[in-house]
Structure 1
Amino acid sequence: MATRGVTILRGSVQTLADTAARAESAGFHSAWTPEFYTRSSVVTLAAMAARTSDIRLGTSIAYASGRSPLMLATEARSLDELSGGRLVLGLGLGTKRMMEDWHGLPGDAPAVRMEELVPLLRRLWRLHEGPVKHAGRFYTLSVTPTAEVEEPLRTDIPVFTAGVSPRMIQTAGRVADGLLGHVLFSPAYVEQVVNPAIDEGRAKTGREDAPVEKVGIVITSIADDAEQARREVAAQIGFYCAPKSYATLLELSGFAGEGDAVRAAFAERDFAAMTAAVSDDMIDAIGVAGTADEVRAKLDALGDVYDHIVIYPPSFGLTGERCDELAEVLVAECGAGSGAAR
């Protein structure tokens, strides 16, 4: 059975820290924090580390495109120290448009960029062994310590990379310790695209036997009224379907028509129509929704797809009160005492 974690997008830094503490008490294996233009995963994870002592903590994701390699390595080193060696550094670049519009970087060759970055981070975590000099396609760096550098708590901090396209998924196989799956992944997409891409990536760099943990981030809602939970999941799926960047993913999963309808509704800012465009088959393939018993059974079934399942409560179109309630219910109902592996 796959281990379980939890992540939430909406809410204050304190809310996320509270959720991590409750998840640890409930027997969850991990707690994660996403990043957006209103949320720093680094600052939030620091707060989560201060409230917990045992649970694995991860960024899902930290934007690699918005930080220099040195700053990213330093932040990760500090977070790992603060958490007592519990950090998983989840990295992503965002879409091409996000890279260009949000971070002012060229959006070309994202996989190659990430494959240059990850080994460079590992070298920087060994700065105590000597200077680090690098001149690559995307990064140029020369760091010669002027004082003694203490050895970090760990020089092998796990690095998980995010990927959607086959080439970006290959990156996890080539250089990373794990893959952070997209919330729109379906079991069919994992079987037909993700697994072969990871294997191909491993073969490209001679890492055929290297463990690459597959993490599924799954939009999940529980309600006494199962239909309410399904509508909440449908709204969040619609939110993620709006960018055209994910059209190919949806097409390969058999949901091209739904994706077209969602994007058309989004162009009109018709959020009700976006939700309505998400079919029942799409909800069942991508998300998990229903009563507590139904949700636990569906999460158990995903243990055949992923090594680790991160429960992600929807927030799009929901009130803050419902978001808080849903996070609490999911942690209470899906922890180790309710059947999740620890």
Structure 2
Amino acid sequence: MDIAIAVGDVRGPASAAEITSQIRTAADAGFSSAWASQAFGWDPLVLLTAAGAIPGIGLGTAVLPVPQRHPLVLAGQALSVQAATGNRLTLGIGAGIATMVETAFGLPGDRPVHRMREYLTVLKPLLRGETVDHHGDTITAVGAAHVPGATPPPVLLAALGPAMLRLAGELAEGTVTWMTGPKTLAGHIVPSITNAAAAAGRPAPRVVAGLLICVTDDEAAVRARVAGQFALAGQVPEYRAMLDREGMTGPGDLVIAGDEDKVARRLDRLRDAGVTEFMAAPYGTAEEQDRTTTVLAGMTSRRPNP
């Protein structure tokens, strides 16, 4: 299992210089990739392009909600990042949280699997440089995206429910999860997408699992802070279903927190669940995040692959 690092907004407000420092530290420490997410702050594709001058580390989005990005637009953006960064991008996309899609953007959030299937059938050819002429139920797309020097990035699909996981196994190169624990990964996420990929004759999928993490001597205090700060996430139906599967009350129960030995044991559980890449999101003060990053960096060179 590779160990990657989340950068940007998920770790708290940060300037361009601070995020560049996060990525440079991750590259120097030997982390496999740096992942940026989309909320209402930094645009992750712009952020990763700016970080492209830092060598030796993969770059990924985890994730880009696609309802507000037409596939012709996203294909051009993703291929531009590829060309600018030496083809190091993994494009993680998702349907978005339904309530946010509908409330913040005024876009339809119904039938997410149906919409995503159509989106992927348009996006994947565009990323290969092909011309599309698609007039579908939810998307019209006519044209192509050509960026010299860019190769098609692998596409990972954020998937939690059974139908979206089947779609990810069929049409994507893997999945990215957030706030999903080892029990749910082992018993639901990994077998569902793996079986779907096998049924479609595709290679074994990548499974990138993202969780908050804090190496600390005061685990109870960290869990209490996370429970308060991320309380709303625990009420979102998509994440609530995963917490219920895990048998946990809220995000405070799910954060990886504790001393070095306890954190290492939690990472072992993720590896044993079938996770191929752990996306660590260091949590807390600058000092707590620095300690966590240092401990994780020490694991990157000695953690065995399954």
Q: Is the 8 A contact 2:182 2:269 kept in 1?
A: no
Which residue pairs with 1:197 in the alignment?
A: 192
* 1:56-100 C-alpha deviation (Å, 9 max, x unpaired): 110111121111111100110011111111100010121211121
| Displacement of 1:55 | 0.5
Q: Is the 8 A contact 1:164 1:182 kept in 2?
A: no
Q: Which whole-Å CA distance do the structure 2 matches of 1:233 and 1:98 have between them?
A: 21
- Name the aligned partner's letter for residue 278 of structure 2: I
TM-score, length of structure 1 as denominator length? 0.79
* 1:113-168 C-alpha deviation (Å, 9 max, x unpaired): 222222322211333x5x321112221111168xxx5544213x100110222222
| Displacement of 1:221 | 0.6
1:32 aligns with 2:28: no
Q: Is the 8 A contact 2:83 2:148 kept in 1?
A: no
- Name the aligned partner's letter for residue 179 of structure 1: T
SS in 2 for 1:60: strand
TM-score, length of structure 2 as denominator length? 0.88
Which residue pairs with 2:56 in the alignment?
A: 54
Q: Which whole-Å CA distance do the structure 2 matches of 1:236 and 1:171 have between them?
A: 32
Which residue pairs with 1:308 in the alignment?
A: 277
Q: Is the 8 A contact 1:30 1:58 kept in 2?
A: yes
SS in 1 for 2:91: strand
Residue 85 to residue 248, structure 1, CA distance change in 2 (3 Å):
same
SS in 2 for 1:210: coil
Q: Which whole-Å CA distance do the structure 2 matches of 1:58 and 1:189 have between them?
A: 23
1:182 aligns with 2:185: no
* 1:265-294 C-alpha deviation (Å, 9 max, x unpaired): xxxxxxxxxx8xx5xxxx2xx331112333
Structure showing greater Rg: 1
- Name the aligned partner's letter for residue 36 of structure 2: T
Which residue pairs with 2:151 in the alignment?
A: 154
Q: Is the 8 A contact 2:212 2:280 kept in 1?
A: yes
Q: Which whole-Å CA distance do the structure 1 matches of 2:247 and 2:264 have between them?
A: 25
Residue among 8, 18, 32 paired with 2:21:
18
1:165 aligns with 2:182: no
SS in 2 for 1:121: helix
| Displacement of 1:235 | 4.1
Identity of matched residues, %: 27
SS in 2 for 1:67: coil
Residue 132 to residue 175, structure 1, CA distance change in 2 (3 Å):
same
Q: Which whole-Å CA distance do the structure 2 matches of 1:335 and 1:100 have between them?
A: 40
* 1:29-62 C-alpha deviation (Å, 9 max, x unpaired): 1110111012311122122223x11101101111
Residue 126 to residue 213, structure 1, CA distance change in 2 (3 Å):
closer
SS in 2 for 1:298: helix
| Displacement of 1:169 | 2.0
Q: Which whole-Å CA distance do the structure 1 matches of 2:282 and 2:226 have between them?
A: 8
Residue among 214, 234, 258 paired with 1:290:
258
Q: Is the 8 A contact 2:80 2:150 kept in 1?
A: no
Aligned residues: 299
Which residue pairs with 2:290 in the alignment?
A: 328
Which residue pairs with 2:239 in the alignment?
A: 246
What are the residue-to-residue correspondences of 1:57-206 with 2, within 5 Å? Answer: 57-127=59-129, 131-143=131-143, 149=146, 151-155=148-152, 157-183=153-179, 185-202=180-197, 206=199
SS in 2 for 1:66: coil
Q: Is the 8 A contact 1:167 1:197 kept in 2?
A: no
| Displacement of 1:106 | 1.0
Q: Which whole-Å CA distance do the structure 2 matches of 1:217 and 1:238 have between them?
A: 17
Range with greater deviation from structure 2 (99-108 or 17-26): 99-108
Q: Is the 8 A contact 1:232 1:314 kept in 2?
A: no
Q: Which whole-Å CA distance do the structure 1 matches of 2:304 and 2:82 have between them?
A: 24
> What 5-or-longer segments of structure 2 have no aligned partner?
none
Residue 250 to residue 225, structure 1, CA distance change in 2 (3 Å):
closer
Q: Which whole-Å CA distance do the structure 1 matches of 2:174 and 2:298 have between them?
A: 23
> What 5-or-longer segments of structure 1 have no aligned partner?
260-274, 316-321
Residue 4 to residue 239, structure 1, CA distance change in 2 (3 Å):
farther
Q: CA RMSD in A?
A: 2.4
Q: Which whole-Å CA distance do the structure 1 matches of 2:289 and 2:51 have between them?
A: 15
SS in 2 for 1:25: helix
Q: Which whole-Å CA distance do the structure 2 matches of 1:4 and 1:39 have between them?
A: 23
SS in 1 for 2:178: coil
